Structure formats: structure tokens, C-alpha cells
């Protein structure tokens, strides 16, 4: 089965915008079409963004709904405990944590909307792709 790291921007976009590639990636996840790899750091980042007052108000994100989403992500993920990183590969040092997570989690894909990561295209055999490209890689996902 395909193993993938989802960048926070993909998860948040999928939650906020109910239609479009990021939402379809989350739908594929909840239908167990792939295994998501995550870490406590990534889950905390998603929670932090979902509970920003400005975002919660603008997109009407209910705190209980945010908790349900985080619980689902946690339950359906392969949780990697604090992947250590000496990786320095991205133009944005904050993105190196995602690369480290993908390496430690034996991911096939890192799915992101971040151009700093997308410009890398691959890293240690891991394909770095947009949600659109990732969906095409899921052979059982209805298109």
C-alpha cells in the first residue's frame, strides 16, 4: 500500500475547501486508499492552525469538528515518534522536518502545495507531489 506524508497545507485545505484535490486526498485517506505517515509535531501543527481564531471564525471550524478530524488522522496514521533530522535539503528549513518524517516513515510520497518542497521533485526516492498528482497515483481512487 502507498505510504504518504501529507503537509499541513494539504490537510487544512482539504478541511476548509470541501471540494478539490486536497479534499479528495482526505477522502481517499478516510477510505483507506493509502497509509498516512504523521508525527506528534505535524498533528500539533494541524491542531494549532485549525484553532487559530481567525481561521476558525472565517471558515466556521467548530472546535469539536477539529477534534474529530485530528482523532481520525491519528487513528488512521502510522505515527512516527519524533523523527530526528539532520536533513538540510529545502530552501525553507521548516520543511526539512517533513522530509525527515517522510524518510523515517518510509514514505513513497510527500504531498504538498509548498513550492519550496515541490521544486525538489524527489528526495531519497520519495516523490514530492501536489495533491492532484498524488490522486493520479492512487489506482483505486475514483477519478
Region 132-140: mean pLDDT is 90
- pLDDT beyond 80 at 3: yes
Kindly report the average pLDDT of the chain as a whole number.
89
- pLDDT beyond 70 at 23: yes
Which CATH number fits the domain 3-137, given the four candidates 3.40.50.1010, 3.40.50.20, 3.40.50.2000, 3.30.70.580? 3.40.50.1010
Give the residue from 124, 72, 66, 134 showing the smallest Cα distance to 98. Answer: 124
The SS3 of residue 62 is coil
Give the residue from 99, 81, 79 showing the smallest Cα distance to 90. Answer: 99
Buried b (16+ CB within 10 A) or exposed e, 58-77: eeebeeeebeebbeebeeeb
Whether the Cβ atoms of residue 5 and residue 128 lie closer than 8 Å to each other:
no
CA-CA distance, 102 to 38, in Å (whole number)? 9
CA-CA distance, 140 to 135, in Å (whole number)? 9
- Return the pLDDT at 141: 53
- Return the pLDDT at 108: 98
- Return the pLDDT at 125: 97
- Give tens-digit pLDDT for 41-74: 899 999 999 888 898 889 888 788 778 888 888 8
The SS3 of residue 60 is coil
Amino acid at each position: 500500500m502507498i505510504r504518504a506524508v501529507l503537509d499541513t497545507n494539504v490537510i487544512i485545505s482539504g478541511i476548509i475547501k470541501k471540494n478539490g484535490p486536497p479534499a479528495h486526498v482526505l477522502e481517499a485517506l478516510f477510505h483507506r486508499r493509502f497509509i498516512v505517515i504523521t508525527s506528534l509535531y505535524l498533528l500539533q501543527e494541524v491542531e494549532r492552525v485549525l484553532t487559530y481564531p481567525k481561521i476558525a471564525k472565517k471558515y466556521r471550524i467548530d472546535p469539536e469538528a477539529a477534534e474529530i478530524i485530528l482523532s481520525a488522522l491519528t487513528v488512521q496514521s502510522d505515527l512516527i515518534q519524533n523523527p530526528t533530522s539532520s536533513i538540510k535539503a529545502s530552501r525553507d528549513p521548516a520543511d526539512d522536518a517533513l522530509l525527515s518524517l517522510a524518510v523515517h516513515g518510509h514514505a513513497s510520497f510527500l504531498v504538498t502545495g509548498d513550492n519550496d518542497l515541490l521544486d525538489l521533485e524527489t528526495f531519497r526516492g520519495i516523490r514530492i507531489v501536489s495533491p492532484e498528482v498524488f490522486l493520479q497515483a492512487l489506482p483505486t481512487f475514483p477519478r
